[in-house]
Amino acid sequence: MMKERDGGKALLFENIVGYRTEVLSGMCGTKHRLALAIEKTEAQLHAAVNEAIDRPIEPKVANDGPVKEAVDSPKLSSIPILTHYEKDLGPYIASGIVSAKSTDGTIENVSIHRMLVLDDNHLTMRIVPRHLYALCRMAKEKGKNSLDIAIAIGLHPSVLIAAASPAPFGVSEYGVANAMMNSSLTLSEIGDSGLRVPADSELAFEAKILLNKEVDEGPFVDLTGTYDIVRKQPLVEVTRVYHRREYIYQALLPGGTEHKILMGLPYEARIFQAVSGTVPKVKSVNLTSGGCGWLHAVVSIDKQTEGDGKNALMATFGAHPSVKHVVIVDADIDVANLQDVEWAIATRLQADKGLVVIPNARGSSLDPSANQEDGTTTKVGIDATRTLKKPIEKFAKARIPE
């Protein structure tokens, strides 16, 4: 059902066999719904995300909140955590955020991670070499055997967008979310570690990453819709569970539209900002669905000089290190209409002038054609903007008069 309705209406499953808990899927399945959640239009989404990243606002903290209505010992089998595809190693939490702090408490990080359920009080999660990875390394260097974390599920869309955003290390993504929410986010501390979760979360875990214990993680279907490789990842011990008395479990279909939008939207915003710093005007950015919402970008610009297309390509690759193929088009091309984009490539590209190939670059470990151990790939940039050496009329689409 989740696959059949992918990209459409959100689904609420009210009668789950063996569980009392309802399951929600697809809440963030369209950009229109995300725009509604932060009281913006779709056209304002990129600017709103960039503004929030650049000017985060520290949230309020309350002693209590709906997430603390009930506190239990961990029993993960009592939660309707889904096994999504036939070869998944087991049930995976795909819509949870992980918050952690540095050992001195000065740095807070909030990020999204896929989490494999191993038993009633153990998980493992994929930790790529970014901010949470850095906090784990810092803890090990201080002689720590574990890193305290909080896991939260059932969240306002702004929290998920912020957790997926490329905010700088040292900037709490909670502040980014609060900025998008017009300062309405309230956090609540759980446990003795001082870690914080949104007070209105449906469900939260107090847990710790065991830094010296690793287990197999995967296979798992990620953004590409293919199975990621099996890796050794840290063991996570869940020590306490907090939840609303009647909580809803928020599910997410890996590789589905909701997954692509949540992961891709913050990077579309960063690409927009980066390209805006290199060319006079950027019209739009699209991390395409066919490119897994992650690997293919189309950027439309208002070209002023012959070099603008190439500069826009380089800025896009720099803003989103995982992107593999980039197409730069003119402002008259609709980046969401791939037939329009293909037409621009067909009528405006000369490959000996507009094609850029970058071998052995850092890419995405999710790409099955890349080196998934070290993450290197070959990137291709396509400057499909019209040359300024010919009259603009030669590149205009013919129109039938009214």
Given a contact cutoff of 8 angstroms between Cβ atoms, the answer to whether 362 and 397 are in contact is no
Q: In what order do the strands lie in the sheet with 22-25?
A: 11-13, 22-25, 248-251
Q: What secondary structure letter does DSSP report for 6?
A: T
Given a contact cutoff of 8 angstroms between Cβ atoms, the answer to whether 301 and 279 are in contact is yes
| Euclidean distance between CA atoms 326 and 390, whole angstroms | 24
| Euclidean distance between CA atoms 256 and 26, whole angstroms | 9
Given a contact cutoff of 8 angstroms between Cβ atoms, the answer to whether 152 and 187 are in contact is no
- Report the SS3 class of residue 30: coil
Residues recognised as catalytic: 222
SS3 content of the chain, % helix, strand, coil (to 5): 25, 30, 45
- Report the SS3 class of residue 272: helix
Residue 250, H or E segment: strand 248-251
Distance in Å from the first CA to the final CA of the chain: 45
| Euclidean distance between CA atoms 346 and 342, whole angstroms | 6
